[in-house]
Structure 1
């Protein structure tokens, strides 16, 4: 898992490099032509792309550091550096966004008017097509590598493509003496920069402050509830380190399970979450569940009596006998579980009216073991029954002995 995640981050770096090269070419071209064509919106778009170079460099550094393996000082690895890099990128975008906004507002206040060359529109359209192609590449790569940092960069690529289209529209409008629209689009581009910066900032802070999607918690809880041996899901707590999800899970299981059985159940839960939801690391803690029998001691003997009546009637034997069940019949023969089930399938099921249970006594020898004794009459013949019932998640009969009553 460690190697796979590291390889994904290494692959994500390719997307960042593509964005950086595209931004260098586009930003230099747009800022240079903006000075020649006197287009405020083209200049604003050029500075927007310039910030993306700095932001992508921060993301690239973050991806490099995030791939460093865990050590004594970073037992969970360096994955959070990816979120820190995104946070730094958002700060850079905030700074430039406010700078573009400030300059545009000053131009509006001073009513500064300059002749705008329509060639700037062609540059903006070309920039939009380039950034749209970069967006499709980085977005696909971000989903394949599960890199949140690259996904944020791809969203910025799409934003740049849209703002470039807006820039082209503004320049063409200014050519026909709607210069106010050029400044209006500059304001809109500044707004896009600030909005994208805010979204990246919000997602980064959410991850760094251990925020977690409640919808995912609900999905995990439903999946764990259906896992074998789980009585109740007490807690699911998640946090993210970069694109990696770490979970703490607390479940309640029967107190009668052995350590081996409980451990096997926790491993099943861990594998379920890793395979089905691509969770990076899961820590499962088991607590004893409160079983109904622990709360109703007085009714336990009656519950076991009802199960004994089913045994006498030969019904539901598969659900009442342990795998290693043994019974000594009244003639001294030893019957196993398989022999008992076979005998029951060959005989017609008797009704409860054929038996008259007398002298029923239930003795609890431990929290999960009962010894039952009673007599029953069958065709004027009295038979003494001694049976041992043991709880292992459910109450099952372990041993029975039938003795003719003298």
Structure 2
């Protein structure tokens, strides 16, 4: 199964799974009058929308490069992650405001039946399965949108666990604990929304996380195997979806012919791409040895051989 087909399959599993869990929790939240359960249900319902966003972004990202998008459409998944963060933020703020209102007005009677405990327990099990499945899928396919969705699921596990613990303690402390739990749930939602937003913004600005910086070591280690190459500099890597695009400058003997220099860059490109399967393209600019104009940002490593 191709990468995009697997992401679509994961999105559909998320849609049906979250639709089932959200319906249960919203219904029980309304019946029992528990804002904590209702908040959990509303948060789960937003996950349906995020899965739909992932489906749409996957359809866009699988389009090949064209005249207006020479680097392809891979960042559609990153944009989807940012949209997911906005949805989560809105849900978190809405729940926070309503929970504070309820805490201030007071006078709430809750009926936490065994069915309510059962629904929250089912939610815990269901969300744990979805989190592990989507996290594994997202990491294996390097899908930022799927990973963002999985992180949202992880928060849902904590939210449902908090609601369950609160329901057990509510009979001893009173109705106000339900509103406090709803406030805590909304804060968790907001925290996750900021985290997802930051990760998406980082990639949209062509940044690499520290965990991805090992690609530079792979590049320089490969270059060391070519004695003709000196002073690789302005080495820059950008990530587009699951793939990386690399640009670099190298120095060679000024007497080398254009054909030999071209053949050298072809060999370097093949060796680097052989080492990693997440590289889409490499652009190499050749300069004469001893060139001192190395302005501009990027990673460099002095490797002049004497």
Partner Cα separation in structure 2 for residue 96 and residue 88 of structure 1: 13
Structure 1 unpaired stretches of 5+: 292-392, 396-406
Partner Cα separation in structure 2 for residue 283 and residue 99 of structure 1: 48
Structure 2 unpaired stretches of 5+: 292-303
Match of 1:380 in 2: none
Match of 2:5 in 1: 10
Q: Please report how far the alpha carbon of residue 220 of structure 1 lies from its aligned counterpart in structure 2 after TM superposition.
A: 4.4
Match of 1:74 in 2: 69
**TM-score normalised according to structure 1 size:** 0.67
Q: Please report how far the alpha carbon of residue 99 of structure 1 lies from its aligned counterpart in structure 2 after TM superposition.
A: 0.3
**Larger proportion of helix:** 2
Asked whether the equivalents of residues 219 and 272 of structure 2 are also in contact (C-alpha less than 8 Å), the reply is no
1:280-334, Cα deviation, whole Å (9 max, x unpaired): 221111111219xxxxxxxxxxxxxxxxxxxxxxxxxxxxxxxxxxxxxxxxxxx
Are 1:95 and 2:90 an aligned pair? yes
Equivalent residue in structure 2 for 1:219, among 217, 220, 226: 217
Are 1:105 and 2:100 an aligned pair? yes
3-state secondary structure, aligned to 2:248: strand
Partner Cα separation in structure 1 for residue 66 and residue 93 of structure 2: 40
For residues 346-361 of structure 1, the aligned pairs below 5 Å read none
Partner Cα separation in structure 2 for residue 273 and residue 195 of structure 1: 39
Asked whether the equivalents of residues 116 and 175 of structure 1 are also in contact (C-alpha less than 8 Å), the reply is no
Q: Which moved more, 1:72-81 or 1:254-263?
A: 254-263
- How many residues align? The count is 289
For residues 13-92 of structure 1, the aligned pairs below 5 Å read 13-92=8-87
Match of 1:230 in 2: 229
Q: Please report how far the alpha carbon of residue 13 of structure 1 lies from its aligned counterpart in structure 2 after TM superposition.
A: 1.1
Asked whether the equivalents of residues 41 and 185 of structure 1 are also in contact (C-alpha less than 8 Å), the reply is yes
Q: Please report how far the alpha carbon of residue 269 of structure 1 lies from its aligned counterpart in structure 2 after TM superposition.
A: 2.6
**TM-score normalised according to structure 2 size:** 0.87
Asked whether the equivalents of residues 29 and 35 of structure 2 are also in contact (C-alpha less than 8 Å), the reply is yes
Equivalent residue in structure 1 for 2:122, among 119, 123, 126: 126
Asked whether the equivalents of residues 224 and 230 of structure 1 are also in contact (C-alpha less than 8 Å), the reply is no
3-state secondary structure, aligned to 1:280: strand
| C-alpha RMSD of matched pairs (Å) | 2.2
Partner Cα separation in structure 1 for residue 119 and residue 11 of structure 2: 23
Partner Cα separation in structure 1 for residue 245 and residue 214 of structure 2: 12
Match of 1:150 in 2: 146
Partner Cα separation in structure 1 for residue 25 and residue 215 of structure 2: 46
Higher relative CO (Cα under 8 Å, sequence separation at least 6) belongs to 2
Partner Cα separation in structure 1 for residue 39 and residue 28 of structure 2: 12
Match of 1:184 in 2: 180
1:152-179, Cα deviation, whole Å (9 max, x unpaired): 1111122212211111111111123343
Match of 2:250 in 1: 251
Partner Cα separation in structure 2 for residue 270 and residue 112 of structure 1: 70
Are 1:140 and 2:136 an aligned pair? yes
For residues 233-382 of structure 1, the aligned pairs below 5 Å read 233-277=232-276, 278-290=278-290
Asked whether the equivalents of residues 118 and 172 of structure 1 are also in contact (C-alpha less than 8 Å), the reply is no
Q: Please report how far the alpha carbon of residue 224 of structure 1 lies from its aligned counterpart in structure 2 after TM superposition.
A: 4.4
Partner Cα separation in structure 1 for residue 273 and residue 121 of structure 2: 45
Partner Cα separation in structure 1 for residue 240 and residue 86 of structure 2: 20
Match of 1:208 in 2: 204
**Larger proportion of strand:** 1
